Chain A
Amino acid sequence: MAAWLGWLIESNWTDPFLFAVYSIVKPLSGAAILVIMYGIISGGNFNTPLFPYIYLGNAFYIYVGAVMTGVSWAVVDDREHYKTLKYMYIAPIYIPVYLLGRGVARFITGSIAVFITIVAGVLFLKVPLHFAEINWGLFLVTLILGVVMLALLGLLLAGITLTVARHEGFIGEATAGALYIFSGAVFPLDVLPAWIRPVGYFMPTTYWLELLRRSLVGNVAQAFPTLANFSNMQILGILLALSIFFGVISIWVFRYCDGIARDRGLIDHTTNY
C-alpha cells in the first residue's frame, strides 16, 4: 500500500505522457552532459573503455538518487507537506517498512530511466553491450543486492531527517552528490587525490557499480586499475559485507533517531522551512 501511495504521489500530478517525459528527460539530459563532455575531448571517439565506464556508471547511479532519496524524502513529504506522518505513526503499521514502501515508486521510475538511458547508449552511442555476453546471474544478484543496500541507506537518511528541522530536503541530495564523487561513478577512483581514495574504497556503491559494469561489459570494465586485482566473486563478497555493515548501522541509526523524534515531539513538527 505504501508503494502504491508513493506511486500515486509521484505520478498523479499530470497525465501519463507528461509524466513519462518528465521521468526520462532529466536522466537523459544528465547523461547527455557527460556524453558531450566526453565527445568534445575525445574528438568523437566512443570506442575507448572509458566511455562505457562513464556511461554505465552514470546510468546505474540514477538508482542511488532515486532509491536512497526516495525513502528519506517520504519523511519530508509526509511531515511537512501533507502533514500525515503523525497519522502513520499512530496507525498499526511498521514505520520503516512504510518508508521503504514509499521508496518503491522512485525505484520504478528510476528503473525506467536507467533502462532508457542504457538503450539510448547502445542504440546511438555504441555502448558495447551484447546480450549474449552479459553475465545475467551476476547482474541480477548485484542489482538486487545494491537496491536493498540503497534502500537501507535511505532508511538511515530518513532517521536523520526525522531529527532535523532544517535542510532535511538537502540531506539525500548532498549524500547522493558526495557518493557520486567517492564511488567513482563517472571516473575511475585513481583520478581522485590519493588521500581521499580510501573513502571511495569504504563505500559499497563503488563495488556495486564496478560489478554492474563487469557483468554488462566484462573486460572493458576491468581495464581500469582501481579494482583490477579483484575477481568478481571477491568484489561481490566485499559488496555483501559492506551492505550488511551499512544495513545494520542504518537500522540502528533509524531506531535511535526515531526514539529521539518521539521523545522530542518531532513526528508532527512542521516548520515551513
Chain B
Amino acid sequence: MKKEEFKNQEYKYGFTTEIENFKAPKGLSEETIRFISKIKKEPQWMLEWRLKAFNRLKILKEPNWQKPKYPEIDYQNLYYYSAPKSMKNKPKSLDEVDPKLIETYKKLGIPLNEQKRLSGVAVDAVFDSVSVATTFKGELDKKGIIFCPISEAIQKHPELVKKYLGSVIPISDHYFATLNSAVFTDGSFVYIPPNTRCPMELSTYFRINASGTGQFERTLIIADKGSYVSYLEGCTAPMRDENQLHAANVELVALDDAEIKYSTVQNWYPGDKDGIGGIYNFVTKRGACRGKNSKISWTQVETGSAITWKYPSCILQGDNSVGEFYSIAITNNHQKADTGTKMIHLGKNTKSKIISKGISAGQADNTYRGLVDIGAKASNSRNYTQCDSLLMGNKCGAHTVPYIKNKNSSSTIEHEATTSKINEDQLFYCNQRGLNQEEAVSLIVNGFCKEVLQQLPMEFAVEAQKLVSISLEGSVG
C-alpha cells in the first residue's frame, strides 16, 4: 500500500476538493467585516452588531488558563471568508449547485439529494463559509418550522434573529466568542413554533476545505413553547500540515416545556502521528432553558481536532428545567482535549446530569473541566456528575478539574470520578474467545462509552461507534 493511501485510511475524510474559491482579503479588520456583511447582503443592524463585537475584541485578550497550549495564532494571516466561486450567486435548486460540491458531500456520505436521503434527516451543508444546500425545506415549511442558513434567516426572519442572537452568548463574552460574533459567516438557524414536534432530525454538516482559512460558524436554535427538536452536527476537514482555526458559537434557547437535543460528532482532522497539522476547535456552545419545564440535552463525541476546547453549557433559568451533558472525548497521538460543561442552576427544582468519558492514548492529554453552580434561589435542585477516564500507556494524561458550588441547603450535588486503565481480566477474557488485542480494546472501550453512545440518534450512534474504534487504532501494543 502506498504511503498516501495508508494515510487516508487513518483519516478517511482527509481529501481536498479542488474548487475555485472566492475569498475575503486576508486579515482581521473592519474592512473584512464590512466585506462579509456586504457579501451576505446583511441589513445595517447586523453590520453594526458585528462592528460592536469587533470593537470589543480589540480590548479582549486571548485566554490562557486552559491546559492545552498552542502556538500564537496570527489573526492577520487568516482568511475570514471563503466560498466556492459557484456559490457567489446562490443557486436556486440543487441542480444548479457545482457538481464538485455534490461529489464532495457524496464522498463524505452526506445525502444532499432528497431521493437518496437517509430516512428522516434534513441536512444543511456548510462548506467553508457558506451553506451549500438545505434539504427537506418544503416539508418542514408545512409545519411552520424554519430550518435555513443563518445568513438567510437574517434577511427573512430579522425579528427572531434580533431577539435571540447573542442573548445566550453575549458579544462581550470571551475572546473566541467575540471573534465569532464579529466575523461569523454561516451556520444553521432553527425555529420550532409552539407545540410542534419536529418530524425529523435536523442536521448540519460542516466542512472546512480551503487552506489558510478559519471557519466561524454560528448556529441559533429556538424551541418555542411546548416544542421538540433533535439536532445533529457533524464536521470534517482535509489533511493539511497547517493548523486551522475553527471558532464556532452555538446558542440554544428553550422556552416553556420545550426540549432541545443537540448531538455532535466532531471529527475534524486531528493532525498526523507527530502532532503536525490539525484543527484548533475552540467552540462556545451554550443553551438557555428560559422557560418552565424546559430541557436541553447535549451529547458529544469528540474524536478529532488537534486541540479541542469546548464546554457546552446549560443555564437553567426556568423552574423545573433540566440540563444534560453526555460526552465522549477520545484523544490519540498528540491530540489535546479540554472539554466539559457548565451547569448553572438559577431556577427552582432544576436538575442536571453530567456523564463524561475521557479516553487518552499515545501522547495525548484529556481534561474534563466543569462547573456546577447552584445559586441561592435554586432551591431543591439536583446535580449528578460522573466523569470516568481511561488511560492507555503512560505517556498520555487524564485530568479532572471540576468546580462545584452549592449555595443552597435544599439542593444536592453529587460528583464522582475515576481514572483507570483497561482491565487486564476483561482483555484476557476477550482474547481467550478469539478476539485480537485491538478488537478486544475496541469492544471494551465501546462498552465504557455505552452510556453516552445510547444518547445519540440511531443514524449517528452506528457511525460514532465505528469512529471510536478507528480513533484508537494503533494505540494498543
A binds B: no
Chain B residues at the A interface, C-beta cutoff of 8 Å: none
Chain A residues at the B interface, C-beta cutoff of 8 Å: none
